[in-house]
Each structure stands twice: as structure tokens, then as C-alpha cells.
A and B are shown apart, each in its own frame.
Chain A
Amino acid sequence: DSGVTQTPKHLITATGQRVTLRCSPRSGDLSVYWYQQSLDQGLQFLIQYYNGEERAKGNILERFSAQQFPDLHSELNLSSLELGDSALYFCASSHPSTSGSYNEQFFGPGTRLTVL
């Protein structure tokens, strides 16, 4: 158990709909990352938040948005869903490094999204 929790575990919805995925980082971790894993695209970085502020953006579609709340949990909002959005969505968290270097990331169990 990594200490990172994600809800829900599974989500089945229809095209055009909007869903919200939730992530709670490990205690003490300030950074939250969202990743999408699909068979054709592999594991793609979407976005990073650090202590409530957006820090980096990857291959995140305009239909997707995220935020990190004062209690450090994060939500990933996916709207106008398409069949191709079906994937595993992972959240990860990491502890700030005093040296400024990169630390390991701790991954949650993921949310499996199926768009029908």
C-alpha cells in the first residue's frame, strides 16, 4: 500500500459525459501528479500540482482539468468524454526534496475509466 488513495476504482460512463476522479496523496507529500495509461499511448504524464499550484503540464487535453485543494487532495475533471478517453488514470505523490532533486513518486491504485 503506497499511502495514495484514489476513488472511484472503476467508472463507467457514456460519451459526452463529465466525471471527476479524486486523489489523496500520502501524508506530508505536497506534490500530486496525474497520469493516463492506455494501451496505445502508454503511460502519459498529464499535470502536476505542488501545494495547491499548477507546476507542470504534460499531454493534458483542454477537456481535462485538475486542481489541488488546501488539504492537498486533488481532483481530475474529464469532460465531453470520448471513447478514446477510456484508460487507467493514476495519481502519484512525492515529498519535496530539500536538495531540489527529484524524488520517487508513490502511485495510487488507479481509476479505470470506461467510456461507452
Chain B
Amino acid sequence: SQQGEEDPQALSIQEGENATMNCSYKTSINNLQWYRQNSGRGLVHLILIRSNEREKHSGRLRVTLDTSKKSSSLLITASRAADTASYFCATAISSGSARQLTFGSGTQLTVLP
């Protein structure tokens, strides 16, 4: 079962615009990570935010985390056609020594040139 649910399922914007994707999850987490997947390829780690952090930046990426609402958002600023991909949030759950991630259903982002 999916721990995280991304919203929206699909997003289409023009190059240069900002893209915002949201993720909601159900249980307490150790951290939340965002990954990107180009069609049919492997996932690429984008950014990790720990449960005691509220905001994190990496280049054109900004991630926020609200543990009280069990939600996170990923903002991509000044989007480019090359940002077209699926974006997944993944939660790392505090559970003993296991280290698996539980992925959401993903947001398909299309950036039009």
C-alpha cells in the first residue's frame, strides 16, 4: 500500500513557470525524500528533509515539511523542458533497523517549451 499520495497526479506548465507538487502521508516518519524518474528509467534522488526540519533548498528545488499535517511540498522554480518527469515522494518510517522507503503514486510533470 502507498504511504504517500502525491497531488496533483499530473501537472502541465509552460517553461519558466514554477511547479508545485504536494505529498501527504499517514504515519510518523524519520525523513521524507523526493525522487525524480524520467520515463522508464531509474529514480534519481533529489532532496531529503528530516522530520525536525521545516524547509530545505537545493538549487531550483524547495521542499517544505509539515509534520503536524503529515504533508510535504516540492517547488521547482523557473522550470525547464528538461524537468519533464515523474516526481515521487518517499517516506522513511521509524521502524527498527529496516531502511526501506515507501513511495507515493507520483506526479507526472510536463514542462512545455
Partner of A101, one of B30, B35, B45: B30
A interface, size bucket:
20 to 34
B102: nearest chain-A partner, CB-CB: A45
Number of A-B contacts (CB under 8 A): 70
Q: A101-B31, A102-B30, A104-B48 are in contact. Are A45 and B42 (CB under 8 A)?
A: no
CA gap between A92 and B35 in the complex, in Å: 13
Give the shortest distance, in Å, between A49 (CB) and chain B (any CB): 11
* A-B residue pairs in contact (CB < 8 Å), sample of 25: A31-B99, A43-B103, A44-B103, A48-B98, A48-B100, A55-B98, A55-B99, A88-B40, A90-B43, A101-B31, A101-B50, A102-B31, A102-B48, A102-B99, A102-B101, A103-B48, A104-B45, A104-B48, A105-B33, A105-B45, A105-B101, A107-B35, A107-B43, A107-B44, A112-B40
